[in-house]
Amino acid sequence: MIRELIHDDAILSTPCEPATAEDAPVIQDVLDTLASLSDAGCLAANQIGVTKAICAVEGDDGKPFVMLNPKLVFGLGPQRVQESCLTREGVVNVKRHIKIKVDFDELVDGELRHRRREYAGFTAQMIQHMIDHCNGKLV
Ligand SMILES: [Zn+2]
């Protein structure tokens, strides 16, 4: 279901609770809402009002993938970049790694499976932005 974007700082600054296998409907809402936004490459659950550590990011192929409970394992090559956010006004300067390794869970056949993957470039930047959202950090 497509949900409305939240601009409430009280919700957006709340650290998200761990996602579980029961959160499949929230995952679907994140994907549906992301697909409805023409100018967005990623979306976190708290941006639609659900404070669970769930996000979706469009990969290089344009298809979104879902990360539950994403955590940065390490990052290489910090760089200053300009970033904007769907649920915040304006553009900000932030430091992002060019290359990252991330731990996260994936929901497969009703169970959480642990994953560890590496990402680079703009995908890595979006994932770092999403991890910030999951931690309740406002960019
Ligand atoms: Zn954002």
pLDDT of residue 39: 85
Measured in angstroms, how far is the CA atom of residue 138 from the centroid of ligand 1?
8
Distances (CA, A) of 44 to 7, 78, 80, 88: 13, 23, 22, 13
Per-residue pLDDT tens over the stretch 94-118:
999 999 999 999 999 999 999 999 9
Q: Which residues have beta carbons under 5 A from ligand 1 (an ion)?
A: 85
Measured in angstroms, how far is the CA atom of residue 89 from the centroid of ligand 1?
10
- What angle (nearest 5°) sits at the alpha carbon of residue 139, between those of residues 84 and 17? 120
Per-residue pLDDT tens over the stretch 32-89:
999 999 889 999 999 999 999 999 999 989 899 999 999 999 999 999 999 999 999 8
Measured in angstroms, how far is the CA atom of residue 126 from the centroid of ligand 1?
9
Distances (CA, A) of 87 to 13, 22, 42, 124, 133: 12, 26, 12, 20, 10
Measured in angstroms, how far is the CA atom of residue 110 from the centroid of ligand 1?
28
Is the pTM higher than 0.85? The answer reads yes
